[in-house]
Amino acid sequence: MVVASNGRRVTVVGATNAQGASVVDALIASSQPYQIRALTREAGSEAAKKLAQQGVELCMADITKADGVARAIEGAEVVFLVTPFSLVPQEEAFTRTWIDAAANASSLKLFVFSALDSLAELSNGKYSKALHFDGKAKLAQEAIKKLGEDRVALVMPGGYYENFTSHGPFGLKKSGEGQYYINAPAIETQTVPLLFTRGDYGLWVQAALENRRETGLKIPAATEAPTHDGVAQHISAAIGKKVDVHRLPFDQYLDAMPAMMGPMREPFAEMIYSITEAGYYNDATGPFDKTHSLLSRKPLSFAEWAKQADWSALL
């Protein structure tokens, strides 16, 4: 399918990254027409070339500066932006530049943020270093204050299925004895909302654009919420090998974080333990499946994804 020559103009920041690319795919596949402007740093990449072939407008403006952001937003009715990974000053400044430009753009009707709830608030202050969540929550509130709730949609992704095929803290691991396992906090019954980010996240952004009255301000984007035991069982079925769950108290979970993560090891450990103890979404966001009926198609289940995923690098 190709992009329509009319319809609402949507500016997508990071259109060749997992979330942005999923948004572009969902809008191209929609029954409603969209004109898509994709912001990418590498116009010559294969992903960018594919977008151009589909009729997506490629934009190479300097989006770290106010005049470049203004050009990227010009004429757009919708902007999609991923909030930064953590409270790094440069990333905060980058996001605020977009918020300011969006607030001043007369054409803009909806500013769609990939945001999360504050884990410091969810845990009543017990876990205060989960910057990945808290930084996004802080900037989302700034956007709401400047633009107003009627011009903001917070599409809040669950954990990525894709993390389980990585060498990061959530990925499948192999012991020296050849046994496979995943690490998890020492709480057996807690569930974690998950989704296939590259393939399905855009469905929730599409729902925010096409069913704004029903979705509301905060939109949890997750397909299911399995326990870690359930995740291990699906991975085991996919790779044909037994997968155990190593349940670790906080100090051991922190020690098991990959050394390559450096200073992010403790924030990640706090993030996972806070989610496990206090939950992923707050009460105002609501249950992870509250907007499933508004999606244009059924998202891929974890079991389905695991069977088609490439596990070879971890086996």
pLDDT tens profile 222-250: 999 999 999 999 999 999 999 999 999 99
Q: Contact at 8 Å (CB) between 140 and 154?
A: yes
Q: What span, in angstroms and rounded, lies between the C-alpha atoms of 79 and 264?
A: 29
Residue 132 pLDDT grade (very low, low, confident, very high; cuts 50, 70, 90): confident
Q: What span, in angstroms and rounded, lies between the C-alpha atoms of 39 and 14?
A: 6
Q: The whole model's pTM is what?
A: 0.95
pLDDT score of 214 = 94
Give the domain ranges of the chain. 8-314
CA atoms within 13 A on the CB side of 237: 12
Mean pLDDT across the stretch 19-35?
95
Q: Contact at 8 Å (CB) between 156 and 219?
A: yes
Q: Which residue has the tokens 């106010």?
A: 66
pLDDT for 3 beyond 80: no
Q: What span, in angstroms and rounded, lies between the C-alpha atoms of 23 and 29?
A: 10
pLDDT score of 4 = 66
pLDDT score of 188 = 76
What's the pLDDT tens digit per position in 161-217?
999 999 999 999 999 888 999 999 998 778 899 999 999 999 999 999 999 999 999
CATH superfamily of 8-314: NAD(P)-binding Rossmann-like Domain (3.40.50.720)
Q: Which residue has the tokens 């991975």?
A: 235
Residue 110's DSSP bridge partners are: 78
Three-class secondary structure assignment of the chain = CCCCCCCEEEEEECCCCHHHHHHHHHHHHCCCCEEEEEECCCCCCHHHHHHHHCCCEEECCCCCCHHHHHHHHCCCCEEEEECCCCCCHHHHHHHHHHHHHHHHCCCCCEEEEECCCCHHHHCCCCCCCCHHHHHHHHHHHHHHHHHCHHHEEEEEECEEHHHHHCCCCCCCEECCCCCEEEEEECCCCCECCEECHHHHHHHHHHHHHHCHHHHCCEEEECCECCEHHHHHHHHHHHHCCCEEEEEECHHHHHHCCCHHHHHHHHHHHHHHHHHHHHCCCCCCCCCCCCCHHHCCCCCCCHHHHHHHCCCHHHC
pLDDT score of 87 = 59
In 3D, which of 239, 163, 228, 223 has the Cα closest to residue 189? 228
What's the pLDDT tens digit per position in 103-121?
999 999 999 999 999 999 9
Residue 2 pLDDT grade (very low, low, confident, very high; cuts 50, 70, 90): low
In 3D, which of 207, 161, 190 has the Cα closest to residue 18? 161
In 3D, which of 138, 136, 129 has the Cα closest to residue 156? 136
In 3D, which of 80, 124, 56 has the Cα closest to residue 274? 124
Mean pLDDT across the stretch 272-284?
90
Mean pLDDT across the stretch 76-102?
87
